[in-house]
Amino acid sequence: MAGIKLINISKSFKNKQVLTSFSALIKDGDFVMITGPSGSGKSTLLNIIGGIETPDSGEVIVGGKNIRGLKGREKQELYQKYVGFIFQGFFLDPNLTIGENISLPGVFANMPAPALKERLKTIAKILGISDSLKKFPAETAGGQAERACIARALFLSPRVVLADEPTSNLDKESANKVLRILQVFQEKTDTTIVVASHDEAIRPFATKVITLGESQNEVY
Ligand code: ADP
Ligand code: MG
């Protein structure tokens, strides 16, 4: 079981120390809530796990591989297959249809067209958005865009899904629906879910809570 290991991670921006020798162990199939006040480093930590930010020091081990030792292309391939992102605000490209948006990870991974089509059909069905695939984001009802973003994140069946503030613009009912969808994936496919958020609605779904801004170090 590979999981994610963060060992003595430090990160600062200009003169601001955001993470100081932070360590945590995330097991496969965990539903992790990274919480803490605004500015405490939740997004930074999520981006470090997702390979978007590089820590100043410390080791990041994803899927059994130390990110530091990977070349650009190896790193890209690992993240492409292993990690799916749900971006803050459920961003979809307004110029692409819902179906095209969802398929993007497969396009970037050079999936052959028939496989791409088949996967889109399957994932759209799972998320209940089969009827919206030909529409543009602006033409879809509330809730469909959120589902489309989740479908895009899950397109390549990643082992880890990272979500930054996924409930921030949602009412309580929609938020719970999104969290429930993620939880079903976590439970059924042992996907690791990591959510950065201060929203207390997430806590009941979490199997592990990492709190930043207090004592930043977790002992394991
Ligand atoms: P959170 O997600 O918990 O609100 P962030 O990880 O976004 O916190 O930010 C933590 C701190 O780091 C904040 O003070 C923020 O201003 C700063 N910060 C984050 N990213 C950058 C960046 N790219 N450049 C400069 N400062 C940044
Ligand atoms: Mg943030």
Parallel, antiparallel, or unpaired for β 4-13 and 16-26?
antiparallel
Residue identifier of the C-alpha nearest atom 27 of ligand 1: 13
Ligand that comes closest to the CA of residue 11 = 1
Q: What is the CATH number of the domain that holds 56?
A: 3.40.50.300
User: Which carries the bigger pLDDT value, residue 63 or residue 121?
Assistant: 121
Instruction: Average the pLDDT over each of 64-68, 132-136, 211-215 and give the range with the smallest value.
Output: 211-215
The count of structural domains within the chain is 1
User: Which carries the bigger pLDDT value, residue 193 or residue 142?
Assistant: 193
Predicted local confidence at residue 1, as pLDDT: 53
Whole-number Å distance, alpha carbon 153 to ligand 2 midpoint, is 19
Give the whole-angstrom CA distance, residue 206 versus residue 34: 10
The residues pairing with 4 across neighbouring beta strands, listed in sequence order, are 26, 62
Ligand that comes closest to the CA of residue 88 = 2
Q: Model-level pTM?
A: 0.91
- pLDDT score of 220 more than 80: no
For 82-93, what is the mean pLDDT?
A: 87
Residue 179, classed as helix, strand or coil, is: helix
| The token pair that represents 200 in the structure block | 């207390």
Range of the domain at 89: 4-219
Whole-number Å distance, alpha carbon 39 to ligand 1 midpoint, is 6
Catalogue the E-assigned strands of 27-121.
31-35, 57-62, 65-66, 83-86
User: Which carries the bigger pLDDT value, residue 81 or residue 30?
Assistant: 30
Whole-number Å distance, alpha carbon 191 to ligand 2 midpoint, is 22
| The token pair that represents 20 in the structure block | 């100081």
For 66-93, what is the mean pLDDT?
A: 87
Render 101-118 in DSSP notation, one character per residue. Answer: HHHHHHHHTT--HHHHHH
- pLDDT score of 99 more than 50: yes
Residue with tokens 């803050």: 88
For 212-220, what is the mean pLDDT?
A: 58
Ligand that comes closest to the CA of residue 165 = 2
pLDDT tens, position by position, 17-58: 999 999 999 999 999 999 999 999 999 999 999 998 999 999
- pLDDT score of 215 more than 90: no
- pLDDT score of 217 more than 70: no
Instruction: Average the pLDDT over each of 57-61, 130-134, 139-143 and give the range with the smallest value.
Output: 139-143
47 lines ligand 1 (CB under 6 A): no
Whole-number Å distance, alpha carbon 112 to ligand 2 midpoint, is 36
Predicted local confidence at residue 6, as pLDDT: 97
- pLDDT score of 89 more than 80: no
Whole-number Å distance, alpha carbon 36 to ligand 2 midpoint, is 10
38 lines ligand 1 (CB under 6 A): yes
Nearest ligand 1 atom to the CA of 45 is 6
- pLDDT score of 161 more than 70: yes
- pLDDT score of 80 more than 80: yes
Residue identifier of the C-alpha nearest atom 23 of ligand 1: 13
The chain-wide mean pLDDT, for the chain, equals 91
For 158-166, what is the mean pLDDT?
A: 94
